[in-house]
Chains A and B, each alone.
Chain A
Amino acid sequence: MRILSLAGRRLAASIPTLFLILIGVFLLLQLAPGDTVDALMAQMGGGDAATAKELRQFYGLDLSVPAQLANYLWRLVRLDLGFSSIYGKPVATVILERLPPTILLMTASLSFAFFFGLLFGVIAARGVNRWPDTLISTLGLVFYATPSFWFGLMAIVVFSVYLQWLPPGGFEDIGTIRTGIWHVFDIAAHLLLPTLTLGLIFLAIYLRIMRASMLEVLNLDFVRTARAKGLDETRVITRHVLRNALLPMVTLIGLQAGTMLGGSVVVESVFSLPGLGRLAYESVVQRDLNTLLGIVFVSALLVISVNFVVDLLYARLDPRIAAEG
């Protein structure tokens, strides 16, 4: 499996990147005013200096910065992300609880943005400079310029407050307990608006890239060859243009994975979704630096995994990649 070994090598190459991020953010957080113990003491309603000292010793915070870093990395190797004093649980547990809504949200938004971006991009490129193109391109520009949190709020006003079609927030209805398929529907109803909100800007980006890339590929020589063979326009597009035009889109998924995860911070806050993004926001507000560092680690891991999948996908689409490895 050449493709797999190629992607595997890329994956291995991202380990130094991961360490670079962790060390960088760890050192950055040393500059933050206040540490975990301060946060803890504030939670407890204050305490004397002796207690603080004891706690610092307990958490290893009295050591030198390099020693703390070494400690942290060593714990990380054993998949121990530390303890969240705010939630009173290990950070790994807190994050794992919050992971499913975020992954669900990201997958849904990405699928939505990718599918419709592809569709609209193709339609726009087919009718370039005619009204479908103008309409789609204009909508794309407007979607791109719309702040996601604002779109979310307005969607709540329209669909939850006035029309009362969809719930204004949360991951599932806590009042009634549903099972099976109804539970799935319930979660879907809760995720519909967040998905649209998060996906909108990416839809705009994808459709623009797809349109540009279609136009570019349509000008390539092999498209002329295809036409000279006597293929009709539909088959020229489906058999020759589409796959070539998809390549930049696929690359973009990998590049934008981080941006999308970042966007979920805002969207989850708007819709009160108990996900990773909202956790990031809460830990900043509550100065829960251990959790924040854990989130940095997990979100970097997520982005790296998305890129791994994207590499595999790309190599499947483009035989030239596998040949290079």
Chain B
Amino acid sequence: MSQPVLSLDGLTVRLPKGADRPHALSDVSLSIASNEILCVVGESGSGKSMMANAIMRLLPNEVRIEQGRMLFNGRDLCAASAAEMRDVRGAGIAMIFQEPMTALNPLRSIGDQIGEMFSIHTKLSKAEIAARVLALLEDVRIPDPKAAAKAYPHELSGGQRQRAMIAMALALDPKLLIADEPTTALDVTTQAQILKLIRDLQRRKQTAVLFITHDFGVVAELADRVVVMQHGVIVEQGVTDRVLNDPQHAYTKQLIAAVPPLKAPPPRIISGKNILTIDNVSKTYRTGGFLGRGARVTDAVKNVSLHLPRGATLGIVGESGSGKSTLARCIVRLIDPDAGAILLDGKDWAKLTREQVRRETRHIQMVFQDPFASLNPRRKTAELVAQGPIVHGADRAVAIAEARKLFELVGLDPSAGDRFPHEFSGGQRQRIGLARALALKPDVLVADEPVSALDVSVQAQVLKLLADLRQQLGLSIIFITHDLRVAAQICDLVAVMKDGAVVEQGSTAVVFGNPQHPYTQALLSAIPGGDFTRKRDALIV
């Protein structure tokens, strides 16, 4: 191995009093060579982002480096002065972040912000800077670089913003690039493009890359070597192939096992009768119009027709903006569809009045995405779960008692009902949300990205619970997700949506095994670490 660009030696970072643990990082040692991609993997709270900030010496105020050395270019960054650190930042070590929208200053143009790199660290003239900025934007393959340089962040898409961030980070050919979950906020196809871009540029410029991620798929796709972190400690590190195929530490094994297989489980027998039929449903938004001038029309959902057989799970997959969430909200009538019919047990749900919907709503219930926003923080959880039956006329005491039974059903302690939502973890809250929906004994459950906000290992548990409940209660489920791997695990049928329309639908095994529409094919090939997963799936079978 060549001379390391950066090596951490016994790095220990102390958290302020009152944090959930004393150290964000304890005794972390690792090294990165030039022309190497090192992936740091861990779930939320593993300290992986803290490590990135520590290397840049950009830790929050009360957090400090307690021990250890960080050697970069033969110099210990822990001992560097503020001025020396400023020379290293940007020029020696550059960084890209998770959220390209908030990581860019909204009030200054892209070109201006990239050019700032040169104006801080070099003595180039304005014209030279402008030329360099343009060249960089071409390098990251942004469409229309000239326009992009003049654009403000809000005028670009998420993927373009992240490209601009990468252009900015690579402006001065830094020795080391730290990428902190740079693709987590992006759609899967965009993610694939950005990952490819990072790898191409890295090979060309021979940069060392420290890539932080929670996704083993990304690791399989990108990394030369892997570092696995848990609770601020490195539990395992090694060459990617070795770690993926022969993990030593139990936590690593658990993380790799939790990566959902791409292959659908053996098909279940599905009833021939449809419980829910969606027939030509459309929803159009008009925005920004004043007296008909300058109105923008968005077809959020275009003539969508779907069937949900009784007892089956129908997955609706698509990227952000595909209209899948709007469709879900139309089905539960949080949004009124403009046209089409939604037949539930023969009744046209789309034509009911608001008051009728309110009375009939127990037949169809919803589970929401964000476990932190979907529970009223000011109510105890038993009350939250009992609310539905109480609204529909159940006796309060009976409803609360029923709620406690439901807690058991979703794998929570019945005594959990006396606590407030903030006392629970994300996965537990999602169970509470599920119990709330089940309290009304619905025929159809609409689940809108129910596991997207959860860590991978928790995701697997919640999905298993959902599958068990489906069996036990005979639920019919509409499952909205952007993650094809999740859909493959739980859905009997899938429909792929793009720009408001369904482009392909059918049984999961058929759609994923032999995709017909080019968009479905693109989605499937964009899944990070697809090759690894497929290889592993083959082994399991």
Say whether A and B bind each other: yes
Interface residues of B in 102-116 (CB under 8 A from A): 102-108, 116
Whether B89 and A230, one on each chain, are in contact in the complex, defined by CB atoms closer than 8 angstroms, is yes
For the complex of A and B, 8 pairs with smallest distance between CB atoms: A230-B90, A230-B89, A221-B102, A229-B90, A228-B95, A222-B105, A319-B152, A230-B86
What 1/0 flags go to A297-325 for Cβ under 8 Å of B? 00000000000000000000111100111
Docked pose: A230 CA to B82 CA in angstroms: 10
Whether A324 and B103, one on each chain, are in contact in the complex, defined by CB atoms closer than 8 angstroms, is no
Whether A229 and B107, one on each chain, are in contact in the complex, defined by CB atoms closer than 8 angstroms, is no
Binds B, one of A100-108, A238-246, A281-289: A238-246
Interface residues of A in 214-255 (CB under 8 A from B): 220-222, 224-232, 235, 239-240, 243-244
Give the chain B neighbours of A243 by CB distance below 8 A. 107
Give the chain A neighbours of B117 by CB distance below 8 A. 229
Give the chain A neighbours of B91 by CB distance below 8 A. 230
Docked pose: A226 CA to B89 CA in angstroms: 10
- Give the interface residue-count category, chain B: 20 to 34
- A231: nearest chain-B partner, CB-CB: B120
Would A221 and B99 be within 8 Å (CB), given that A228-B94, A229-B168, A230-B90 are in contact? yes
Whether A225 and B103, one on each chain, are in contact in the complex, defined by CB atoms closer than 8 angstroms, is yes
Docked pose: A56 CA to B337 CA in angstroms: 61
Docked pose: A325 CA to B293 CA in angstroms: 11
B201 in contact (CB, < 8 A) = no
Docked pose: A244 CA to B290 CA in angstroms: 29
Would A224 and B58 be within 8 Å (CB), given that A229-B89, A231-B116, A320-B152 are in contact? yes
Select the residue from A9, A221, A224, A228 with max chain B CB neighbours within 10 A: A228
Docked pose: A97 CA to B87 CA in angstroms: 62
Would A323 and B154 be within 8 Å (CB), given that A228-B58, A231-B116 are in contact? yes
Give the chain B neighbours of A231 by CB distance below 8 A. 86, 116, 120
Whether A230 and B97, one on each chain, are in contact in the complex, defined by CB atoms closer than 8 angstroms, is no
Give A314 Cβ to nearest chain B Cβ, in Å.
11
Give A217 Cβ to nearest chain B Cβ, in Å.
10
Interface residues of B in 440-496 (CB under 8 A from A): none
Give B298 Cβ to nearest chain A Cβ, in Å.
15
CB within 8 A of B97: which of A225, A240, A320?
A: A225
Give the chain B neighbours of A232 by CB distance below 8 A. 83, 86
Whether B97 and A224, one on each chain, are in contact in the complex, defined by CB atoms closer than 8 angstroms, is yes
Docked pose: A116 CA to B71 CA in angstroms: 45
Give the chain B neighbours of A221 by CB distance below 8 A. 97, 99, 102-103
Give the chain A neighbours of B106 by CB distance below 8 A. 222, 244, 318-320
Give the chain B neighbours of A320 by CB distance below 8 A. 106, 152, 154
Instruction: Pick 12 A–B contacts, CB within 8 A, sort by A.
Output: A224-B58, A224-B103, A225-B97, A225-B103, A227-B89, A228-B58, A228-B89, A229-B89, A240-B105, A240-B108, A244-B105, A318-B107
Docked pose: A319 CA to B152 CA in angstroms: 7
Give A268 Cβ to nearest chain B Cβ, in Å.
38
Known: A9-B290, A229-B90. 19 other contacts (CB 8 A): A221-B99, A221-B103, A225-B97, A227-B56, A227-B89, A228-B94, A229-B168, A230-B88, A231-B86, A232-B86, A235-B120, A239-B108, A243-B107, A318-B106, A318-B107, A319-B107, A323-B152, A324-B288, A325-B294
Number of residues from A at the complex interface, CB < 8 A: 25
What 1/0 flags go to B60-97 for Cβ under 8 Å of A? 00000000000000000000000100111111001101
Give the chain B neighbours of A225 by CB distance below 8 A. 95, 97, 103-105, 165
Whether B88 and A222, one on each chain, are in contact in the complex, defined by CB atoms closer than 8 angstroms, is no
Docked pose: A226 CA to B106 CA in angstroms: 13
Give the chain B neighbours of A239 by CB distance below 8 A. 108, 116
* Partner-B contacts on A (CB < 8 A): 9, 220-222, 224-232, 235, 239-240, 243-244, 317-320, 323-325
B128 in contact (CB, < 8 A) = no
Docked pose: A243 CA to B107 CA in angstroms: 8
Whether A317 and B116, one on each chain, are in contact in the complex, defined by CB atoms closer than 8 angstroms, is no
Docked pose: A280 CA to B152 CA in angstroms: 47
Docked pose: A325 CA to B296 CA in angstroms: 12
Select the residue from A222, A232, A239, A324 with max chain B CB neighbours within 10 A: A222
Give the chain A neighbours of B107 by CB distance below 8 A. 243-244, 317-319
Give B494 Cβ to nearest chain A Cβ, in Å.
35
Give the chain B neighbours of A229 by CB distance below 8 A. 89-90, 94, 116-117, 120, 168
Give A220 Cβ to nearest chain B Cβ, in Å.
6
- B87: nearest chain-A partner, CB-CB: A230
CB within 8 A of B56: which of A226, A228, A235, A324?
A: A228
Select the residue from A232, A319, A324 with max chain B CB neighbours within 10 A: A319
Give the chain B neighbours of A9 by CB distance below 8 A. 290
- B105: nearest chain-A partner, CB-CB: A222
B413 in contact (CB, < 8 A) = no
Give the chain B neighbours of A244 by CB distance below 8 A. 105-107
Give B297 Cβ to nearest chain A Cβ, in Å.
17
Docked pose: A219 CA to B294 CA in angstroms: 36
Give the chain A neighbours of B108 by CB distance below 8 A. 239-240
